[in-house]
């Protein structure tokens, strides 16, 4: 019998997260105060984030950050997640490549997002916070945070991107089941939302807008903090539990990946799976490729600019150094809602700038073809976001076949798609389309960047 699935024992679940910044030769540029253009100190972040998270955000020195016992206890409910050898997919592709995936879809919420949600809720609770706010795109982050807020007895208000609120009603119900308040964004409940709705009453929302609304609420509500499910350094940090486990599990499988792939929204699952492996390259000079798979309709890494930009549409957040399409960029309404974000986190952006990683952009139809093949061969219906990583893994496996050489591929299955069946329906009925992004549209959105800094 060939071993297909690798799991760790409870005691082998990581006890510390990996802070890659400590190992980076070129540290990410600091976040800036938008008014003064001065680098931010942890204290400057206290009004928005829990103190401990503010410190993690700017920590450049501690390579390992201990996972609190309470967090680790909750991790144990679903971790380790399985590392799986995709024999079925390999056979269908008739490839000499070995394909492995790390299955984060087994979390109670169905995605990797819980890894950071639990940590963020814990630090808020520990600090005596009673209320938290956030935004959610496809609903994955909101669902994860709803679970975590309940676990630590926090009240949660979620601004959900309007298009997803309507396209994915079941994610809303999941959040409400855990007791969260869910508001379609843009809404009339904030200044940022009212401004956007006045200018464009039919605007279907974006993550950037929803962030503006959630941050505004946090700033104006006593004892309330904002939380974010991607982009920020501390989120990348928490997600490294994925790659740290995968590192041990690949060892159990007796292999080392030639290439590690993650789909890319703001960068959290990609960082989570890849940073622990990238560490071998940074510290031991090991040969390994890491590849981010992003949507062709929201291509910040492949076609964006490296620039200081706001994390949100209204310009409430600090200025972050990022590969960006411009904070006013309105991505096409692809089904991978979690990938519809204009920028990449600052750690990934620096790593990209330094040539330590690659990025590929993939069209929507190709991702659904990949998803279909994966479902039929591996028995798991992937999230539309994760399908970008699958498509990239398939491209790698096909290349290996053309070259007639083996290749070990590891990708992150960031979530399952069981609540995304409306999207699969469209694919099955042939109604799904690609969304091309013209240079003209892109340049228009990038042109505002010059004015920021």
Ligand X SMILES: *Cc1c(COP(=O)(O)O)cnc(C)c1O
Residues that bind ligand X (CB under 6 A): 111, 113, 140-141, 230, 263-270, 338-339, 383, 385-386, 414-415
Q: Please, which residue, 193 or 417, has the CB nearer to ligand X?
A: 417
Q: Kindly state the smallest distance separating residue 268's Cβ from ligand X, in Å.
A: 3
Q: At what angle do helices 364-378 and 421-428 cross, to 10 degrees?
A: 100
**Angle between helices 140-151 and 169-177 in degrees, nearest 10:** 10
Nearest to 262 by CA among 336, 353, 359: 359
Tell me whether residue 197 or residue 394 sits nearer to ligand X (CB atom): 394
* Cβ at position 171, least distance to ligand X in Å: 10
**Which residue, 242 or 253, is less far from ligand X as judged by CB?**
242
DSSP per-residue codes, 155-168: EEEEEEEHHHHHH-
Q: 235 vs 253, which CB is nearer to ligand X? A: 235
CA triple 12-18-21, angle to 5 deg: 170
Residue with tokens 């096909």: 398
- By beta-carbon proximity to ligand X, the closer residue of 84 and 253 is 84
Task: Report in angstroms how near the CB of residue 298 gets to ligand X at its nearest.
Answer: 11
Residue 396 contacts by C-beta under 8 Å, 6 or more apart in sequence? 97, 259, 261, 291, 407, 409
User: Could you tell me the smallest distance in angstroms from the CB atom of residue 275 to ligand X?
Assistant: 12
Smallest gap from Cβ 375 to ligand X, in A, equals 15
Cis, bond preceding 453 (omega within 30 deg of 0)? no
User: What is the C-alpha to C-alpha distance for residues 244 and 18, in angstroms, rounded to an integer?
Assistant: 8
How far does Cα 385 stand from its chain's mean position?
Answer: 9
Comparing CB distances to ligand X, the nearer of 14 and 295 is: 295
Instruction: Find the shortest distance in angstroms from Cβ 200 to ligand X.
Output: 25
Span between the terminal Cα atoms of the chain, in Å = 60
């Amino acid at each position: 019998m060939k071993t297909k699935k690798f799991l760790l024992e409870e005691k082998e679940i990581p006890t510390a997260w990996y802070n890659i910044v400590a190992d980076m030769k070129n540290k990410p540029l600091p976040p800036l105060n938008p008014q003064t253009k001065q680098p931010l100190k942890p204290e400057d972040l206290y009004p928005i984030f829990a103190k401990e998270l503010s410190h993690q955000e700017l920590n450049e020195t501690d390579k390992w950050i201990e996972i609190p016992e309470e967090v680790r206890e909750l991790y144990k409910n679903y971790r380790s997640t399985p590392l799986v050898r995709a024999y079925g997919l390999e056979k269908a592709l008739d490839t000499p490549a070995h394909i492995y995936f790390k299955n984060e879809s087994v979390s109670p919420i169905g995605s990797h997002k819980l890894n950071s949600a639990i940590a963020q809720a814990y630090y808020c609770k520990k600090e005596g916070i009673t209320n938290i706010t956030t935004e959610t795109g496809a609903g994955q982050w909101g669902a994860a945070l709803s679970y975590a807020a309940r676990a630590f007895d926090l009240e949660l208000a979620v601004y959900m991107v309007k298009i997803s609120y309507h396209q994915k009603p079941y994610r809303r119900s999941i959040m409400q089941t855990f007791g969260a308040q869910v508001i379609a964004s843009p809404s009339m409940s904030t200044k940022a939302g009212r401004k956007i709705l006045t200018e464009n009453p039919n605007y279907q929302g974006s993550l950037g807008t929803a962030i503006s609304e959630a941050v505004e609420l946090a700033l104006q509500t006593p004892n309330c903090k904002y939380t974010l499910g991607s982009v920020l350094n501390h989120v990348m940090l928490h997600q490294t539990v994925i790659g740290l486990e995968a590192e041990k599990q690949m060892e159990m499988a007796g292999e080392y990946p030639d290439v590690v792939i993650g789909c890319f929204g703001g960068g959290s699952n990609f960082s989570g799976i890849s940073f622990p492996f990238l560490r071998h390259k940074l510290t031991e000079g090991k040969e390994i490729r890491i590849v981010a798979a992003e949507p062709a309709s929201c291509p910040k890494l492949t076609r964006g600019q490296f620039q200081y930009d706001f994390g949100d549409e209204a310009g409430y957040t600090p200025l972050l150094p990022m590969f960006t399409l411009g904070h006013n960029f309105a991505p096409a309404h692809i089904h991978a809602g979690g990938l519809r974000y204009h920028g990449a986190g600052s750690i990934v952006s620096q790593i990209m700038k330094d040539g330590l990683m690659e990025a590929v952009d993939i069209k929507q139809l190709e991702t659904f073809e990949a998803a279909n093949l994966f479902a039929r061969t591996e028995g798991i219906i992937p999230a539309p976001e994760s399908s970008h990583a699958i498509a990239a893994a398939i491209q790698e496996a096909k290349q290996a076949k053309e070259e007639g050489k083996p290749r070990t591929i590891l990708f992150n299955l960031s979530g399952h798609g069981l609540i995304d069946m409306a999207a699969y329906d469209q694919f099955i009925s042939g109604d799904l389309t690609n969304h091309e992004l013209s240079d003209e549209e892109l340049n228009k959105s990038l042109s505002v960047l010059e004015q920021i800094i």
